[in-house]
Structure 1
Amino acid sequence: MSAAPPPAGPPPEIRYLFIRRPVLAGVISIVITLLGGFAIRLLPLSRYPQIAPPAVQVAAAYPGATAQDVADAVAAPIEEQLSGLQGLLYYSSANASDGTMGLAISFDVTRSQDLAAVDVQNAVQVAVPQLPDAVRQNGVVILKANTDILAVVALSSSDPRYDASYLTNYLKLFVEDELKRVPGIGNALTFGGLQFSMLLQLDPARMAKLGVTVGDVATAVREQNATNPAGRIGREPAPPGTELTIPVTTLGRLQTPDQFNDIVVRAKADGSLLRVRDIGRAVLGAQSYDFAGRLNGKPTAFMLLYLRPGANAIAVRNAVQRRLDELSRGFPPGISAVIPFDTTPFVTASIKEVVFTLLEAMALVSLVVFVFLQSWRATLIPMLAVPVSVIGTFLGLLVIGFSINVLTLFALVLAIGIVVDDAIVVIENVERIMATEDVPARIAADRAIRQVAGALIAIVLSLVAVFVPVAFTGGVTGEMFKQFAITIVIAVVLSGLVALTLTPALCALLLKEAVEAHTGGFFGAFNRWFARVTGGYVGAVDRVLGRPRAWLGAVAVLVILAGVLWRRVPTAFIPSEDKGYFAMALQLPDAASLQRTQAVIERVEGFLRQEPAIRNIVALAGFDLLSRASQPNSATIFVNVRPWEERGPGQSIDAITGRINGRLFGMRDAMGFAFNLPEIPGLGATSGVEAQLQNRGGLPVQDFAREVQAFVQAANQLPAVLGVNANFRANVPQLYVDVDRAAAKARGVKLGDVFGTLQALMSTLYVNDFNLYGRTYRVQIEAQAPYRQTPEDLGQLYVRGSNDAMMPISALTRTQFKSGPTVLTRFNGFTSALITGVPRPGHSSGEMMNQLDGLIRSRFAAEGLGISYSGQSYQERASSGAAGLVFALGLVIVFLVLAAQYESWSLPFAVLFGVPFGVLGAFLGIWLRGQPSDIYFQVGLITVVGLAAKNAILIVEFATELRSQGVPIRQAAVQAARQRLRPILMTSFAFILGVSPLVVAGGAGAASRHSIGTTVFSGMLIATTVGIFFIPLFFTLIRRLAERGRAETPSAVEGRP
C-alpha cells in the first residue's frame, strides 16, 4: 500500500503565521474595512467638531431705564455673583437704552454646559432680591447658548396685507415648533420683538381731564383681565341623590381689543362708567417696534436654526428644507418661505475639497510607489493595504464619538502618506531579499517581515508617542489637536497591524519569483539616475563622517536658524476662510431713528446688488451684531454669495468686502464696514482681533469715551494694524428729567407715581398677560404716538396729588439735554469698549495683539485703562504656549519609547537629532509663503516631527543590527544609509507628493489646507533632502560615545570602512 502524499501548504521553513495563513490575514482586513465603511454612514458630518466653549446667556428687561441704569441696577448685581464659578473664562454684558440687558458667560471647553447653566442659575437667584421690581416682574431668563447656526429661515409676502408683525407671529405660531421637531435641530428662534402684544394706547390729555392716572388703568387691567376659577356644582361631598357635577365658568382673561376697550377704569355712585375706550384705545400690536427685517429689500420675518451637537449638518439642513416645503403648502396665498442664509454649503464644499484631495493623494502616492517599485504587482500591495487603514479609521472615530470634519479628514490626508510607509518598508525589503538571496517570494517575505518587524513597531510607537500627548492639551486648541491626533493614531496603529498581517501575505502571493531589473525605457533611465544618486549620497555621507566637527557646526547653524524663524514667524489662531458669506455692521449718527436706519440700508442694498457674486441680502435694522444689543441707529447685514465654482477672479470674500468697505467709507450719514465671520461659531463676532478695553480706573463715562477714541487713533498707527474700530459711544443725546422730590412730597405726589408714569407713557408698562392662539402674550400700557415725540410732551403727563388734584409732571421736574451711551458694555465687571480690528497684510493677529498690549502699557495704563481679549483672540492668547509644550512632551515620549525599544539611553538621540531638520523646513516654508504659525501649522509640525523621526529610525535600526553582527560602527552607518535610502526616499516622496494638493489648493477651505500643507510639505522636503545626510553622523558619534562609556575594547571603534 503506497504512502499518502504529503499535505499541501507552505514549506516548513515558513514560520510567520500570516504567510502560512493568508486567508486569515485577508479576513482581518476585510472585517476592518467593512466595519469602517458601515461607520461612515453613522458618523455625523460637520465643518468642525463641537469645540466652541460652552456659554450661558442671561437676559433681563428694565423698561424705560437708560443704559447706565440697566448696567448699575441689573448687570452689576448679577455679575458680582459670577466670579468663582467652576470653569469660568469671562463674562460680558450689553446694557441698552431700551432697558434690555444681555449677559454672555463663557466657560472652559471641558465644562459641561448643563452644569454651567445650573451654576449660573444659582448665582442669579442670589442676585434676584437686589434687582428692581420691574425687572423681577419681567423675569430673568437663563438660556444655554447654542452657537452653531445652521441656517436662517425667511418668511416674506407679496401681499401687502401681511406686514412684518403678521409674518413674525405666523412664523412663530405655525413654523417654529414644527422645525424644532426636525431631528438634529437644537433650537429655533424667531428673530425680533414683533410678537403679539395687547397695547393699551392712552391719551394723556384725556386722562388728565378726567382725573385718571396710569396706576388706575394698570389696577383695573390686573383686576379685570385675570383667570377666575369658580368651582363646580354638585361636587363631593354632596347630598344623596346628586346626579350631576357641572363646572362653573366665568369670563377670565380677555382676548380681543374690544374686550380690553370695555375694561372699567372707574365707576361712580351715579352709575356712570369710565372705560379704557374713553381715555385711549386697545389694539393688537407688537411687543416692540424697534426692529425691522428685510430680505433683498422686502419686509421679512426671520428665524434662526441651531444645530444640535453631534448632528449631521447636511442631513439636518435637507430635512429642514423638506419640512419647510410641506408646511408651505398650507401657507396663506402670497406667503413664501426660503432659506436665504445657509452655513452648510461651506461645510459641504470644504469637506468635498478635502475628500478630493484625499483621492489625489492616493493617486500621487500610487504613482511614486510604482516608479520606485517598477512593478504593478508590488504597487498593488500598498494600494490594497492603505484603504484598509484609512477606511478602518472611521470605525475608531465612531467608537470614540468623533465626527467627520475637516480636522479628521486632514488627518487622513496626511495619514495616507504615513500608512503607505509601513507597507513600502515591507515590500522593499522583500524585493531586496529576493534579488540578493535568490529565494522565492514566500521565503523572502518570511525573512523580510522578521527583519523589519522591530523597525515597524518602533515607527508605529514613535508616531503614536508623538501624537498621543497632543490629545491631552486643554482648551479649544487642545480639542482641535485631539481630533487630529487621535485620527492619526488610529490610522497609524491600523497601518502597523496591516503591515504585519496583510502586507507580508500579499507579498508572498503577488510578487514574482524572480525580479528582473529594468535596463531600458523610463524605468531604466530612472534606475541609472537613482544609482548615481545613491552613489553620490553614500559618498557625501562618507565625507560627512570624515569631518564630524565641521558638519556638526553646520548642524548648529541650521538649528540656530530654525530657532530664529521660530521667534520671527508671526502667530495666529486659525486662518480666515472664504466661507461663501460675510457680515456688515452699520452705525448711524447718535439718536438716529429706526426709519433713518432703514433708509440707509436701502442705499447699501443698492450698491450690494451691483456685485454680481452676491445672491441674498439679509438686513436686520435695529440690531448691532458686535455688541449684540438693540439700537435703532444700528443695523447688521448678512450677505450670501454664489458658490465658489460660479465665481470668477476678483470675487473672493476678501475682494468683495474690500470693494464694499471702499463704498462704505464714502458714506457721510453712516459708518460701516464689512467683515468675515469667525471660523468657529461661538468664538466672537469677527474673524479678526477682538479686544475689550476696560475702564479699570473708574473714569466717568465721558472721560472713558475720550480715552477710547484716543486709543483707537493710536492703535490705527501701529505697524501691524490695518484698521481698528470701537463700538463705545457716549455722546448720544439724552433728555435728563430732574424730579424735585421735595416739591412732590409737599404736594402729596408719590415719587413712584412720577417715575411709573414716565416709564409707562414714554416707554411701555408691562401689566399682565392674555391668551391668543393657544399662546401667552403681554398686555402693555403706552402713550399714543403724538404724546411721546418731543420734550414738550412731558408737560402733558399728569399725576395725582393731594385732594385728588391732577398736576402736570412738568410742575415737579426740570429737563435738560445731556450726553450718554445708548449701549453700555461691561467685561469681567468693568465698563468696557469692544475693540475689533484686522491685522495688516503680512502681519498676524498675534503681532497685532502684542502691539496693542504695548500701546496700553506705554500710554494708557496710567489713565486706568486695561485690555483683555475675548472670542477667538482669547483662545489664541490662551493657546500661545501650548505648541511648545506639546512639541517638547512629544519629543520626550518618543525618546522614552525608543530607549525602551533599543534598550539604550543614548541611541534614541541619533533619531531625535534628525527632528530639527524637519522643524527648520516647516518654519522656512511658511515664512517664505508669508503664513503665520497657527493651529494648522502646529498640527503639521507635530506630523513632521514624527515622520522625520521615522526616517532616522530606518537608518539607525539597520545600522544597529549591522553593529550587533560585528560590523564596524562607521561601516555599519554607511551600509545602513546605502540600503535604507531607497525606502526612505520612496516613503518620503510618497508623502510629499501626497500632500502637495494641499499646498496648491483652491476653493472652500483653501486657507487651512495651505497652512497644514505647506508645513508638512516643506518640513519633510528638508528632512529628506538634508536630514538624511546627518543621521549616519549622529549614529556614529553617539554609538562611539556609548561604547567608549562602557569601556569596550578599542577594536569596537573603527575608522574609515
Structure 2
Amino acid sequence: MVHKIIAWSLRNRFIVLVLAAALFAWGFFAVNKNPIDAIPDLSENQVIVFTEWMGRGPQLVEDQITYPLVTSLQGISKVKYVRGSSMFGMSFIFVIFEDDADIYWARERVLEKLSTITRQLPQGVAPTLGPDGTGVGHILWYTLDAPDVDLGEQRAIQDWYVKFALQNVPGVSEIASFGGAQQQYQVTVDPNKLLYYKLGVTDVINAIRTNNNESGGRKFEMSGIGYIIKTSGYLQSIEQIRNIPVKNQNSIPIRVADIASVQMTGETRLGIFDQDGKGERVGGIVVMRYGENADAVIDRVKAKMKEVAKGLPAGVKFDIVYDRGTLIKESVSSIKRTLIEEMIVVSAVVIIFLFHWRSALSIIIQIPITLAASFILLNAFGISSNIMSLTGIALAIGVIVDNGIIMSENAYKHLAERYAEYLKQTKN
C-alpha cells in the first residue's frame, strides 16, 4: 500500500504540491482561528448557583436553602453530581454536567428547575446563577492606583464606573470587584430606647422601607395641558432617615433619631486586599466567558481600559497585577523559536551529511505543513493553543524531522546505489 502511494505521488507531483499547498492554507486559517491560552482548561462542566441570605448561620442556610436546592437539582438531564456548600449568609451549589453537555443548554436547564424550587425557599430568597466562565477564567487582575482617594470612593468608582464599562467588552463574563469599603447607611438601634417606647426592630425596618419608595399617580388634563402625578419618596440623606416617624404615642411622633443613630459608613468586612505591603487597594478580576480566546479578550480589555482611564478622577490610574497575556505571548514565542531553531539544525545536518540541498529543502517544507495540519485537528477537537498542546507540537517536530532525515538519507542512498549500478552497466 505504501509503495503504491509513493509511486502515485511520484507520477502526480503537481497534484501532490497543490494538495500540500491547500493543506497549508487551511492550516494557516486554523492557526488564526484557534483560541490561544496559557494553561489548558481542565475544569469540570459546571453551573454555579449562588444564594444569599444574610444574617443566617451556616446550619440554617444548609437546612433551608442548600439541602432543598441540592435534592431538586439532581433530577436534571445529563447531571453527573451536585455539590453543596453552606457558610454564613451564603449558599453555593455546583451542578456538574457531563462533558458533552453544552454549557448554555445546561444553564437553561438549571434556570428552568430554579423557577419551580423558589416557592420552597424562605421568603425573599432568590437563587442566582454564577458567571458563564470556567475555573481558569480569571485572565486579568487590576487595581486602582489612587493614593489620595479614600477606599469608599475608590470602591464607588470601581462599582459604578469601571465595572460597567469593562463588562461590555466582548468575551467578558463578569468583573468581580474586591477591596475597599462599600458605602451604606447604617442605622444603629438602641435596645433600651426600643424597650422604653415599646417598639421592635421590625417596626424600625418597616418604617424606613415604607418611606423609601416612589409611587405613580395618574395623568389628568387641565386647561388643555396634560399633567402626570407621581410621588418622589426616595431617601437621599442621613437627615431624612433620622426624621422618619416610626410610631405615634399621644399624638407625638417617635422618629428614627429618637431611638437610633444614623451614619454613612462602610459595610462590615471580613478581610482586606493589600498590595505589596503598601496599603489597601481596590480593584477587579476579569472573568472570561466560556470558550473565548483568552489572548484576544485580554487585548480588548486593555484597549477598553485606555478609554476608561480618560474618565477617571485626577491621580487615579489602572495598575495591572496579573496578566495572563504575558504568559501566552511567551508560550507562542517559545514555539516559534523552537520551530526556527529546528529548521536551521535540520538544514545544517542534512547538508553536512548528505551534501544535498534539495533533501534539506524537502525536510524543511514538511515542518510548516505538518504544524498547520496539527492546528486543523486542534480546532476539530476543541483544544486551545496552550502550554501543553504547544509543548506536544514542539516535541512532535523532532519526530517529524527524524523521519524526514531517515527517509531522505535512505532515498539518497538507494539513488546513489542505483546510479552507481547504472554507471557500471554503461561501462560494460
Q: TM-score, normalised by structure 1?
A: 0.36
2:317 pairs with one of 336, 339, 346? 336
1:390 pairs with one of 355, 371, 390? 371
Residue of structure 1 in register with 2:62 after alignment: 71
Matches of 2:357 and 2:63, distance apart in 1: 77
The 1:212/1:65 distance shift into structure 2, 3 A limit, reads: same
CA positional deviation for 1:144: 4.2
CA positional deviation for 1:200: 2.3
2:166 pairs with one of 179, 183, 197? 179
The 1:291/1:227 distance shift into structure 2, 3 A limit, reads: farther
Contact 2:158 2:177 in 1 (8 A): yes
1:32 pairs with one of 23, 27, 30? 23
Q: How many residues are paired up?
A: 416
Structure 2 letter corresponding to 1:200: V
1:107 pairs with one of 88, 97, 104? 97
Residue of structure 1 in register with 2:205 after alignment: 218
Residue of structure 2 in register with 1:81 after alignment: 72
Residues 1:231 and 2:218 are matched in the alignment: yes
The 1:436/1:23 distance shift into structure 2, 3 A limit, reads: same
Residue of structure 2 in register with 1:251 after alignment: 232
Residue of structure 1 in register with 2:327 after alignment: 346
1:296 pairs with one of 276, 279, 282? 276
Contact 1:54 1:108 in 2 (8 A): yes
The 1:315/1:330 distance shift into structure 2, 3 A limit, reads: same
Matches of 2:401 and 2:265, distance apart in 1: 68
Contact 1:328 1:336 in 2 (8 A): yes
Residue of structure 2 in register with 1:209 after alignment: 196
The 1:55/1:140 distance shift into structure 2, 3 A limit, reads: same
CA positional deviation for 1:223: 2.2
The 1:93/1:251 distance shift into structure 2, 3 A limit, reads: same
Structure 1 letter corresponding to 2:175: A
Residue of structure 1 in register with 2:3 after alignment: none
The 1:79/1:25 distance shift into structure 2, 3 A limit, reads: closer
CA positional deviation for 1:177: 1.4
Matches of 1:428 and 1:70, distance apart in 2: 73
**CA offset digits 1:497-550 (Å, max 9, x no partner):** xxxxxxxxxxxxxxxx99xxxxxxxxxxxxxxxxxxxxxxxxxxxxxxxxxxxx
Residues 1:198 and 2:198 are matched in the alignment: no
Residues 1:131 and 2:121 are matched in the alignment: yes
Residue of structure 1 in register with 2:139 after alignment: 150
Contact 2:346 2:360 in 1 (8 A): no
Structure 1 letter corresponding to 2:58: A
Structure 2 letter corresponding to 1:107: F
Q: Unpaired runs of 5+ in structure 2?
A: 1-5
Residue of structure 1 in register with 2:262 after alignment: 282
CA positional deviation for 1:130: 3.6
Contact 1:154 1:302 in 2 (8 A): yes
CA positional deviation for 1:174: 0.5
The 1:36/1:251 distance shift into structure 2, 3 A limit, reads: same
**CA offset digits 1:718-740 (Å, max 9, x no partner):** xxxxxxxxxxxxxxxxxxxxxxx
Structure 1 letter corresponding to 2:203: D
Partner-residue secondary structure (3-state), 1:245: strand
The 1:233/1:184 distance shift into structure 2, 3 A limit, reads: same
Matches of 1:214 and 1:432, distance apart in 2: 97
CA RMSD of aligned residues (A): 3.3
Matches of 2:225 and 2:280, distance apart in 1: 55
**CA offset digits 1:585-609 (Å, max 9, x no partner):** xxxxxxxxxxxxxxxxxxxxxxxxx
Partner-residue secondary structure (3-state), 1:292: coil
Matches of 1:269 and 1:251, distance apart in 2: 29
Partner-residue secondary structure (3-state), 1:172: helix
CA positional deviation for 1:305: 0.6
Structure 1 letter corresponding to 2:93: L
CA positional deviation for 1:89: 4.1
Matches of 2:118 and 2:177, distance apart in 1: 27
**CA offset digits 1:626-665 (Å, max 9, x no partner):** xxxxxxxxxxxxxxxxxxxxxxxxxxxxxxxxxxxxxxxx
Matches of 1:90 and 1:179, distance apart in 2: 34
CA positional deviation for 1:208: 2.5
Structure 1 letter corresponding to 2:275: L
Contact 1:117 1:144 in 2 (8 A): no
CA positional deviation for 1:287: 4.3
Partner-residue secondary structure (3-state), 2:215: coil
Q: Unpaired runs of 5+ in structure 1?
A: 1-14, 235-240, 445-512, 515-1057
Please say which structure displays the higher CA radius of gyration: 1
CA positional deviation for 1:247: 1.2
Matches of 2:21 and 2:214, distance apart in 1: 69
**CA offset digits 1:877-902 (Å, max 9, x no partner):** xxxxxxxxxxxxxxxxxxxxxxxxxx
Identical aligned residues as a percent: 24
Contact 2:180 2:282 in 1 (8 A): no
Residues 1:141 and 2:145 are matched in the alignment: no
CA positional deviation for 1:109: 2.7
Structure 2 letter corresponding to 1:315: A
Once the two structures are superposed, the pairs formed by residues 582-597 of structure 1 within 5 Å of their partners are: none
Residue of structure 2 in register with 1:167 after alignment: 154
CA positional deviation for 1:76: 1.9
